Amino acid sequence: MADKKLSGAGLRGQSAGETKLCTVGKSGSGLTYCGYDVSDLADNATFEEVAYLLFNGELPNQAQLDAYIAELKGMRDLPEDLKSVLKLIPKDAHPMDVMRTGASFLGNLEPEVDFADQNRAANRLLAAFPAIMTYWYRYSHEGVEIACTTEEDSIGGHFLALLTGKTPSELHRKVMDVSLILYAEHEFNASTFTARVCASTLSDLFSCITGAIGSLRGPLHGGANEAAMEMIQKFSSPEDAKIQMAGMLERKEKIMGFGHAIYRESDPRNVIIKKWSKLLSEEYGDSSLYDISVACEEYMWDTKKLFCNADFFHASAYFFMGIPTKLFTPIFVCSRLTGWAAHVMEQRDNNRIIRPSADYTGSEPRSVNPIAERG
């Protein structure tokens, strides 16, 4: 086998197409959506504004935003048949399998009629995903059949209200909103590329999103925030974190929540979510998990020059908000759906089927021996 880095394995550094949606590691803080820096969006916009931006290319004005929020709020409830399917999924199912089934089954009940229907289909998924996740979770774990609508205007607030059955605090609403913005879009990452490949066959939006969820499920992509949470919960103190991480590195284990395929020195999303995690830790009244996370960050940088990616401080932030670890990656779905759907729309606008070639490394041409003569 050729050296992975020299052979271009993982298509690293190779352009696989054009996009107007996003730059990664190029300008501003390192991440832009439609020309806006992610830190500017996190400070000055809401997730609904970002969703509108990705689907329409421009930020909405107030009237457009009000209409968009009203439209999304009106699309939140789940069909009874979907609720029945969610009730059948066992408690120990992987929550990403629940999201995959939810997206796919909704596509059976309310298929995308044609490409002119793509915005409705994308908005329907955006509005329905928080309920798909929490309806299954609360039914299978608590035996409760929740109502799938709330009065919350924001998708982040709506999710928290569905999960807890309570009105979320302003701080929690704000952090969920920022988190959804940070995860919304990231150029040709594995799950988005999956969606684009599927779209390039002129398939329907629900198939593109279902496939993307499958790619996001893997621990090297979306699953890293859950793995980071499991890791930091095992550390009893900042000192213990450093000792245990040294052992992990010696055993050549991957430390989840660190490193990135494109960013080389830092992930611009980290500084933003880290700030909110600190504020949450103060509200929570016990900052030990935050302090342990900071120790991990310092240790990895000092020893390996590896930096936290978006997932690492998301782990403690979600923990402080009382979100069960198994729902971390499904929240990523609720957000990244916007990027996926925007890429599907962009692919359809100027489509050619994506069909790369491979460098053949198999045997020389040969002919089939009669079976009795084979060793």
Ligand X SMILES: CC(C)(COP(=O)(O)OP(=O)(O)OC[C@H]1O[C@@H](n2cnc3c(N)ncnc32)[C@H](O)[C@@H]1OP(=O)(O)O)[C@@H](O)C(=O)NCCC(=O)NCCS
* Nearest residue to 103 (alpha-carbon basis) of 346, 336, 347, 311: 336
- 190 makes contact with ligand X (CB under 6 A): no
Q: Is 258 helix (H, G, I), strand (E, B) or coil?
A: strand
166 lines the binding site for ligand X (CB under 6 A): no
Annotated catalytic, 302?
Answer: no
Determine, following the binding rule CB under 6 A, whether residue 30 of this chain makes contact with ligand X: no
CA angle centred on 301, ends 298 and 302, rounded to 5°? 80
Q: Which stretch binds ligand X (CB under 6 A): 80-88, 142-150, 252-260, 334-342?
A: 252-260
User: Which of these segments, 110-118, 146-154, 302-310, 363-371, binds ligand X (CB under 6 A)?
Assistant: 302-310
CB 314 to ligand X: min, Å: 10
Residues 6+ apart with CB under 8 A from 16: 188, 193, 354, 356
Of the residues 221, 311, 314, 343, only one is catalytic, namely 311
The first and second tokens of residue 334, run together, are 């609720």
Interatomic CA distance for residues 329 and 374, integer angstroms: 49
Is residue 306 a contact point for ligand X (CB under 6 A)? yes
Q: Which helix (H) or strand (E) holds 190?
A: helix 190-200
Distance of CA 17 to the CA centre of its chain: 21
If one asks whether residue 268 binds ligand X (CB under 6 A), the answer comes out as no
Nearest approach, Cβ of 210 to ligand X (angstroms)?
21
Neighbours of 119 (CB within 10 A): 15
CA 108 to centroid of chain Cα atoms: 23
DSSP letter at 89 equals: S
Does residue 305 touch ligand X according to CB under 6 A? no
CB of 193 to ligand X, least distance (A): 14
311 noted as active-site residue? yes
Member of 136, 137, 258, 332 binding ligand X (CB under 6 A): 258
Contact between 65 and ligand X (CB under 6 A)?
A: no
Q: What is the DSSP string of 76-145?
A: -PPPHHHHHHHHHS-TTS-HHHHHHHHHHHHHHHS---SGGGHHHHHHHHHHHHHHHHHHHHHHHHH---
Q: Are 225 and 315 in contact (CB under 8 A)?
A: yes
Residue (141 or 254) nearer to ligand X, CB: 254
Query: Residues in contact with ligand X, total (CB under 6 A)?
Result: 14
Our finding on whether 255 is near ligand X (CB under 6 A) is yes
Piece of the chain touching ligand X by CB under 6 A; list 195-203, 254-262, 279-287, 355-363: 254-262
- 296 near ligand X, rule: CB under 6 A: no
What Cα–Cα distance (Å) separates residue 346 from each residue in 17, 196, 265?
A: 11, 9, 30
Classify 308 as helix, strand or coil: strand
In the complex with ligand X, the residue whose CB is nearer, 155 or 224, is 224
- Out of 260, 314, 336, 343, the only residue in the binding site for ligand X (CB under 6 A) is 260
Taking residue 345's Cβ as centre, other Cβ atoms within 10 Å add up to 20
Q: Which stretch binds ligand X (CB under 6 A): 101-109, 304-312, 326-334, 345-353?
A: 304-312
**Residue 149 exposed, middle or buried by CB count within 10 Å (0-12, 13-18, 19+):** middle
Applying the rule CB under 6 A, the residues between 212 and 231 that interact with ligand X are: 220, 224
Under the criterion CB under 6 A, does residue 259 sit at the interface with ligand X?
A: yes
Look at residues 48, 350, 341, 36 and name the one whose alpha carbon lies nearest to residue 192. Answer: 341
For ligand X, the closer of residues 256 and 289 by Cβ is: 256
Minimum distance, C-beta of residue 127 to ligand X, in the bound complex (Å): 26
Measured from the CB atom, the residue of 202 and 248 that comes closer to ligand X is 248
Helix (H/G/I), strand (E/B), else coil: 215: helix
Name which of 19 and 309 has its Cβ closer to ligand X: 309
Interface contacts to ligand X, rule CB under 6 A: 220, 224, 254-261, 306, 309-311
Catalytic residue numbers read 260, 311
